[in-house]
């Protein structure tokens, strides 16, 4: 019985990390490419500095997921935030953090850099 409870908890945690947060938009890299010139959007890459240095898209700037809580003050809550990572999982975690801290316009890049054309 305890074994099944542990398994169900583990599955629940995995699913909660994959599913989009309520109120977070999800867009494909192709859709995001049409937005890249918009100066009113904050483009944030939450990968590690090493991953960002190897490959990134302009105008995304690097705020690693591990530093996001400390660096949220660098972001304007009134402007849209577009988040990207390698596959979309870390950026969804970042979206959930931002949502909990009062950000309202949040978009996650579905598939992350792995699906960027």
Could you list the active site residues? 85
Backbone angles phi and psi of 21, in degrees to 5? -75, 150
Q: How far apart are CA 80 and CA 31, in angstroms?
A: 15
Cα angle: 79, vertex 52, 29; to 5 degrees: 55
C-alpha 65/C-alpha 62 separation (Å) is 9
Reference 29, options 75, 68, 78, 85; nearest CA is: 85
Q: What angle do CA 46, 13, 63 make, to 5 degrees?
A: 10
């Amino acid at each position: 019985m305890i074994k099944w409870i542990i398994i169900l908890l583990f599955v629940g945690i995995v699913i909660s990390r994959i599913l989009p947060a309520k109120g977070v938009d999800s867009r494909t890299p192709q859709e995001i490419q049409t937005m890249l010139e918009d100066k009113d959007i904050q483009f944030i890459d939450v990968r590690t500095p090493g991953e960002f240095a190897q490959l990134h898209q302009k105008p995304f700037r690097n705020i690693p997921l591990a530093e996001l809580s400390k660096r949220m003050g660098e972001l304007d809550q009134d402007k849209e935030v577009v988040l990207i990572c390698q596959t979309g999982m870390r950026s969804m975690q970042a979206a959930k953090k931002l949502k909990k801290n009062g950000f309202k316009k949040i978009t996650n890049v579905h598939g992350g850099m792995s699906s960027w054309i």
